[in-house]
Amino acid sequence: MIVSSQVRSNRCAGSAPGIPSQPSRAATRLKYLHRAAVVSSFAFLIGLSSVCHADTQVGGTLPPAPDKLYGELFVAVQTAQIYPDQKTFVDATPNADPAAIVQLYQQQKSNPGFSLANFVNQYFTPPSEPVITPPANQTLREHINWLWPALTRTTTSAPPNSSLIPLPKPYVVPGGRFREGYYWDTYFTMLGLQEAGREDLVDNMLDNFAYMIDTFGHIPNGNRTYYLDRSQPPFFSHMVELAAKVEGRGVYQKYLPALRKEYGYWMQGESSTPAGSATRNVVVMPDRTVLNRYWDELDTPRDESYLEDIKTAQQATGRSPNDVYRELRATAESGWDFSSRWFGDNMTLATVRTTSIVPVDLNSLMFHLEITIAKGCGETRDFRCVGEFAGRAAKRALGINRYLWNPNGYYGDYDWQLAKPRDNKTAAMVFPLFVGAAWPDRAKKTAQQVQSTLLQPGGLVTTTYNTTQQWDAPNGWAPLHWVAIQGLKRYGQDALAQQIGTRFLTDVKGVYASDKKLVEKYVVEGAGTGGGGGGEYPLQDGFGWTNGVTLKLLDLYNPGQ
């Protein structure tokens, strides 16, 4: 991805360890080798390594993603599992020009005794792992408010050839291995920031997202070069709405251009897609109803999960590996990576078919985006636009209630290729209630399903399947609890909302009491007092969206605590 702007040069890669920075010093070393071929190759490296390299500034030219930048070396490092977490290498910073490092690797890899681990340790600096040590005896609320500065990052520049995308304003990261900002996490983090009186950070992150929409045409999964090929659940309109509640309706007008541009990203191909087929994120149903799906531009293994994706494709018998890679990437865009929601057999990751599925949560969020654009156009008195997007939202609501209503009595996903509803009850069923697209009688039936099927001692279970994936039973997630609580309250189901909220809050309090931390996900089945598990990586601490939702729940159900 190339972004036009000027970049200031402020350091040189020639000082990196293992690569000579001055020809005279290099010649002194090389004269003892008596090998013309080696002399020739090092002369080449001298030329590369003596080039000055600048930090990447906001608006500067970004390097390629790590798989493109390092090629065969990238594959070797990830395949050998030099780091336990595949994300570590793609977040690492090279100590010299990448071309020079790759050339050295090509020269040395066949040498007797060559150690890939030693090579990587010499030429790359892994990301730092900050240790967060809170003061003793903090209450849960005190701890969360103490964490905001610890999770705040200011990265108006990034080291040369880093995968990090600089952003103009400070932002809050989730925590743990998630060292960058994430799209849909940010909304739930903002809830807590606003509750804590940090409207400055709410505005900063809104400005960052508007910047990325303007620069890249969409909000990436996160601010890393390897995330640029996909987005995440489109919560930007909810962020705008959140800010408008405190700052006034002028916020709708301020971010209207960004809202419209994001909408254009999700709707690419709308007018040219034949009925019964799909283009990118757009699915046109046989009756010409336009809905959306998750999608990724690429059909290669994810940089940050390279080896996991290779292994999944190997297990998917009878399927093209590239098709599997696309499905895995599309699932990453959903934010639910991974879940039985997307599996052909509801149990096995190798059967993943996300691009064949019209998701109920995505289309609910698109409905809200359409409503929010209409509000913004109302602020500018562009009544033609108001009419267009109000009409689009009305059609979307009809589409949701036609295709995303399961005849068994709940809102759910639809398989557009098989032309039938997905038979999988998940916490995503509450999204039409959250955005106000549900019909009242169907909202009531959905609430009954939530209570009878998903409500557990520790809160709301994500799905009814235990697949060892993190977005399945027995796990519950803070963002889904907030969506459920708000959606149920919107349709008069306050008692059920309170049950869900108080049970999850008890779960969070239990883990904090025992471990003095908030975590990414929680076990809600059984005793319902423990950190969750499953998926591609260990349980992460931090944790942005849990912090945000917990503050809101404390104020709703435990005021004064």
Task: Pick out the residues of the known binding site.
Answer: 177, 184-185, 221, 230-232, 335, 536
Residue 352 phi, psi (nearest 5): -55, 135
Q: Which residue of the set 337, 413, 507, 541 is catalytic? A: 337
Is 270 annotated as catalytic? no
Question: In terms of Cα–Cα distance, which of 413, 246, 279, 252 is closest to 344?
Answer: 413
Task: Render 243-312 in DSSP notation, one character per residue.
Answer: HHHHH-THHHHHTHHHHHHHHHHHTTTTTTPPTTEEETTEEE-TT--EEE----S--S--GGGHHHHHHH
Task: Say how far residue 266 (Cα) sits from the centre of its chain.
Answer: 16
What value, to the nearest 5°, has the Cα angle with vertex 381 and ends 376 and 382? Answer: 80
Question: In terms of Cα–Cα distance, which of 422, 534, 430 is closest to 479?
Answer: 430
Give the 3-state secondary structure of residue 219.
coil
- Residue in the structure block whose two tokens are 């995505």: 362
Specify the amino acid at residue 74. Answer: F
Helices (H), 316-359: 321-334
DSSP state of 74: H
Is 303 annotated as catalytic? no
Helices (H), 80-198: 86-91, 98-108, 116-123, 140-151, 183-195
C-beta separation of 431 from 482 below 8 A: no
Annotated binding site for substrate: 177, 184-185, 221, 230-232, 335, 536
Q: Which residue of the set 67, 91, 520, 541 is catalytic? A: 520
C-beta separation of 27 from 20 below 8 A: no
Which phi-psi region, left, alpha or beta, contains residue 381 (left: φ > 0; alpha: ψ -120 to 50)? left
Among all residues, which ones are annotated catalytic? 337, 520
